[in-house]
Amino acid sequence: LTGEFIAIERLRRLLPVPAPGVLGIGDDAAAILLPAGWLVTTTDAVVAGVHADLDLTGLDDLGWKAIAVNVSDIAAMGARPLQAVITVVGPPDTDLDRLYQGIAEAARRYECPVVGGDLANGPGLVVSVAMTGTVPDGEPVRRTGARPGDGIYVTGSLGLSAAGLRMLRKGEKESSLAVAAYRRPTPEVAAGEAARLAGATAMIDISDGLAADLGHLADASGVGLALDEVPVGEGATLEEAVAGGEDYVLAFTAPSDPSAAFAERGLAAPVRIGTATAVPAERLLAGQPLPAAGGWEHQWR
């Protein structure tokens, strides 16, 4: 079997090369420059049993998550969500109303109307969302722009979702922040916009784990990573913070302190966790090799 990212690269070569001016495969979202500005497009599916264990989380939570993971990819471009369409594939007894309760709550919270979709029967539940977004008065922030010397920042603490899943599996109390982070991740649109306006050179959302996702950003930019420390969420372990994934906070690089742009929007200052370096293969945490990317990767033949 081969990993998701090698499979994506193979499939990319089978597809027509996008026209100049189109940002295609290889970032959190694609983008095209229209006369009125940049339109950003992304799609992400949530699969019951793979992305969410329905014994531990409700169908409404799965619906929330399907919207939230797409909003997070839009936010990672420094964009705002515009609208979504949803395909639901599932068995006839799927509780669509409960699923759409969560979808509707997230759509309202992130001001992203659901404007269409498709319902089809199938053996397992899959909720696939396609979402557009816009970059008002600016350019999308790609993964490719980090330069040696840029500070590396995250917009929140890490590992909470992985810790929440661990607690749920052990049947521990369900009121914690960590469990909420697992069930209802809250992507950071305002922070993504603040980072863009603060001059972020590259940005990605943490979906597969900090080490894996920062690795994608570093690979795309051709820089190394020297991390000093990682903000670990309350109740999470360092390992969960580095490799757990599903945090849906943003990681970005910037040449100067971005705090003012965050303060102007009433947002907490992002946490500087390290520096981009000129040695592309470098992946360090406190001077030691960053634990191997780990993180989540789907497998393909």
Q: How far apart are the first and last CA of the chain?
A: 5
Q: Which stretch binds Mg ion (CB under 5 A): 126-134, 142-150, 197-205, 263-271?
A: 197-205
* Least distance from Mg ion to the Cβ atom of residue 218, Å: 15
Contact between 188 and Mg ion (CB under 5 A)? no
Strands 80-90 and 22-23: unpaired
Site string for Mg ion, 69-88 (x = CB under 5 A): ----x---------------
Select from 23, 27, 28, 253 the one that contacts Mg ion (CB under 5 A): 28
Q: Which stretch binds Mg ion (CB under 5 A): 67-75, 138-146, 164-172, 234-242?
A: 67-75
Q: What is the distance between the alpha carbons of residues 212 and 295, in angstroms, rounded to a whole number?
A: 6
Q: What is the distance between the alpha carbons of residues 62 and 46, in angstroms, rounded to a whole number?
A: 7
Q: Could you tell me which of 176, 142, 118, 173 has the C-alpha nearest to residue 24?
A: 142
* Side chain identity, residue 162: A
Q: What is the distance between the alpha carbons of residues 265 and 191, in angstroms, rounded to a whole number?
A: 9
Pick between residue 150 and residue 246 the one whose CB is nearest to Mg ion.
246
* Least distance from Mg ion to the Cβ atom of residue 282, Å: 23
* Least distance from Mg ion to the Cβ atom of residue 207, Å: 5
Pick between residue 41 and residue 94 the one whose CB is nearest to Mg ion.
41
Site string for Mg ion, 207-226 (x = CB under 5 A): x-------------------
Select from 60, 150, 188, 205 the one that contacts Mg ion (CB under 5 A): 205
The number of residues that bind Mg ion (CB under 5 A) is 4
Chain residues 260-279 in contact with Mg ion, contact rule CB under 5 A: none
* Least distance from Mg ion to the Cβ atom of residue 214, Å: 12
**Cα torsion angle, 143, 204, 24, 296, sign:** positive
Per-residue burial over 155-171, b if 16 or more Cβ lie within 10 Å, else e, is bbbbbbbbbbbbbbeee
Q: Could you tell me which of 263, 78, 30 has the C-alpha nearest to residue 188?
A: 78
Residues that bind Mg ion (CB under 5 A): 28, 73, 205, 207
